[in-house]
Structure formats: C-alpha cells, structure tokens
C-alpha cells in the first residue's frame, strides 16, 4: 500500500472488535495511515455501514476517491450470525441495557421456533430500536431514550432474504440472516420473541458479509497496525 493508492482509493476490510465503535475503528486507521504515509491533513476516509459496539465483524473502510463508493457498498445485501436470548427483553433490544421484563419459554418447541422464522422472510415493516442513531426532531433516537423522552418511531420497509436457525439451546437460539440495507437485527430479535409469544433480545451479533466482501479477508485493527509496522 502506498500513499498514492490510499488517495486514489482503497477498500480496507476490518474485523471490528467487540466494544469498539465504528467511528473508533475509522479513527484508528486514519491515525495509522497518516503516521505511516505523508498524507494531507484532511484526506478522505469513512466506513460503509455502522456496526454497533456490541457487534463484531466486517467493517468496510474506504479511503480517497473510493469514499464515493460508500453509498453503493452500503446498498448491498448483508449476512449476519448471532444469538437471540428468548424469555426476556431489554429497552435497547440487546445487552446495552438491563433486562426489563421476563416471559415464559415453557411453551417453546423446536418446531415453533423454526416456523416463526417464516414470518420474517421477504419484505417486512420493521420498527427501529429506540436506542439507535436515527434522527428524530434533530436528535438521535438514543439521545431521546437516554433522556427518558418517549418518541413515536415510524416503521420502515426492509427485506430479509434468509433466516436460518443454526442452534437451539433454550433460552439461546443461534441464527444466520441475510438482509437488505437498513435492517436492524436487534429489532428482528425483539420481534422474533413477540412472534413466539415470549420476549427476546440480542446477546451476540457478527457481520460476515456485505455483498461480495467477506470478514474472512478482514484484519483486526491490531493486525492492521502490525502490517503497517512490518512494511517499514
């Protein structure tokens, strides 16, 4: 990798670690690239699709002229794997917040769980989590939520192409989902619990693919730093 290549446009595949924000990952690469190469102070760098801090996996980072491709990359189908915990809900639909309600899971069978996935295949109306970065009245939804303000959230059209159950060890259910841009897997977890007449929340999430880009070909920020150092 050269400074010319970075400015002309590069796509860097990062395996985002747990608890890192997407913004942190971009800033880390920006710092490493500026330290390694003689780049302009405001060279262009950005990511093609946010991953929550509690999610891991593929984060596509574009530099230079390739930042113009970000919208195009974001529009591609995505693949996720993860774990839904049935029998309990949280306000954020994941582990960012504490459990706020418990529900029975005694009625759940493998057959019911497999059947419930069919309700989510195709185009669906999905309500984004209240703890999300969508803006409402000039503030992000999570800012309203943390301030204890109730806001009305509109449903959005999204498409789920595949929803496979890969392990059932109640209360945990592992899954693989392929979906369109704008799908909130946290909302799928919550709605899946409702469909089973039980609560549900997301306890683990990993993004494996965006279009033809795969996390198999990605490196962690620590590995990227080592690569930069080894090239000296």
Helical ranges in 61-137 per DSSP H: 70-74, 110-116
Distance in angstroms (rounded) separating the CA atoms of residues 116 and 194: 10
Bridge partner residues of 55 (DSSP): 205
* φ and ψ of 192, to 5 deg: -65, -40
Sign of dihedral through CA atoms 114, 103, 173, 182?
positive
Active site residues: 52
3-state secondary structure of 228: helix
């Amino acid at each position: 990798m050269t400074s010319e290549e970075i400015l002309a446009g590069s796509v860097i595949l990062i395996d985002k670690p747990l608890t890192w924000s997407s913004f942190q990952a971009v800033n880390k690469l920006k710092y490493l690239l500026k330290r390694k190469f003689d780049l302009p102070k405001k060279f262009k760098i950005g990511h093609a699709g946010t991953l929550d801090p509690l999610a891991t996996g593929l984060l596509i980072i574009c530099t230079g002229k390739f930042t113009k491709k970000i919208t195009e990359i974001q529009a591609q189908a995505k693949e996720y794997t993860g774990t839904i915990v049935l029998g309990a809900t949280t306000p954020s639909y994941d582990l960012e917040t504490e459990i706020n309600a418990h529900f029975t899971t005694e009625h759940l069978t493998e057959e019911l769980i497999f059947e419930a996935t069919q309700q989510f295949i195709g185009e669906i109306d999905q309500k984004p989590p209240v703890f999300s970065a969508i803006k409402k009245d000039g503030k992000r939804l999570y800012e309203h939520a943390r301030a204890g303000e109730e806001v009305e959230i509109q449903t959005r059209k999204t498409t789920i192409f595949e929803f496979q159950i890969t392990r059932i060890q109640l209360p945990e259910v592992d899954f693989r989902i392929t979906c369109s841009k704008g799908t909130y897997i946290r909302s799928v977890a919550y709605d899946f619990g409702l469909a089973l007449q039980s609560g549900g929340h997301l306890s683990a999430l990993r993004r494996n693919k965006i279009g033809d880009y795969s996390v198999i070909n990605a490196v962690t920020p620590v590995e990227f730093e080592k690569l930069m150092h080894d090239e000296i």
